[in-house]
């Protein structure tokens, strides 16, 4: 014969488990998983920040790895990650392609002149339309795209040495062929 507390206790334990799973999977606990992962990187063709007569296009990037970094001079965290981006450039493992998101061109140029330019090329997204295609919701965001043009990793927030060695480097340079 079951104790009369058995059923309530069992229900309580079940509730705790359900809530624990809910809390663990809460989007507030971390970045929202991007539906772009595993799929082709969005197409774009935008003006080049340093040379507005030329365009930066996704088609021109195919065939090699690249890091797609969304930033803006209005974004505080972008300043925080800038030093890390310069390190990534120095490591010369994978090129950084910048997306200057809803920014002022002159301010963006002076930002790069002052802090150093970690980007191989910077595309200018004045309307924010390309950022929407990439599902960007808060700069800085960084996407890793493989030579087939597939988005294999996304990081929301400032790029850190941790993310670089744990998530990016092993994908781009497996077997530790290249040092960070």
Binding site for another protein (CB under 8 A): 27-28, 32-36, 102, 127-129, 131-138
Q: What DSSP element (H or E) covers 89?
A: helix 76-91
117 token code pair: 């330019």
In angstroms, what is the minimal distance from the CB of 138 to another protein? 6
Q: Which is nearer to another protein, 139 or 169 (CB)?
A: 139
In angstroms, what is the minimal distance from the CB of 107 to another protein? 16
97 and 66 Cβ atoms separated by less than 8 Å: yes
In angstroms, what is the minimal distance from the CB of 40 to another protein? 11
63 token code pair: 């065939």
Q: Which is nearer to another protein, 152 or 173 (CB)?
A: 152
Q: Which is nearer to another protein, 79 or 102 (CB)?
A: 102
In angstroms, what is the minimal distance from the CB of 129 to another protein? 8
Q: Which is nearer to another protein, 36 or 173 (CB)?
A: 36
**33-43 residues labelled b (16+ CB within 10 A) or e (exposed):** ebebeeeebbe
163: CB partners within 8 A, 6+ apart? 155
């Amino acid at each position: 014969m079951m104790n009369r507390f058995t059923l309530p206790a069992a229900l309580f334990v079940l509730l705790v488990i359900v809530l624990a799973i809910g809390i663990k999977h809460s989007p507030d606990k971390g970045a929202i998983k991007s539906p772009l992962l595993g799929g082709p990187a969005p197409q774009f063709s935008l003006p080049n920040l340093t040379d507005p007569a030329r365009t930066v296009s996704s088609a021109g990037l195919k065939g090699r790895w690249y890091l797609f970094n969304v930033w803006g001079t209005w974004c505080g965290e972008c300043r925080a990650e800038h030093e890390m981006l310069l390190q990534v450039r120095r490591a010369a493992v994978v090129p950084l392609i910048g997306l200057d998101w809803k920014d002022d061109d002159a301010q963006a140029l002076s930002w790069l002149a002052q802090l150093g330019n970690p980007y191989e090329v910077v595309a200018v997204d004045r309307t924010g339309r390309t950022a929407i295609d990439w599902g960007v919701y808060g700069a800085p965001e960084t996407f890793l795209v493989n030579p087939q043009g597939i988005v294999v990793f996304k990081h929301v927030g400032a790029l850190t040495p941790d993310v670089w060695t744990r998530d990016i480097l092993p994908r781009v340079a497996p077997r530790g062929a290249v040092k960070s």
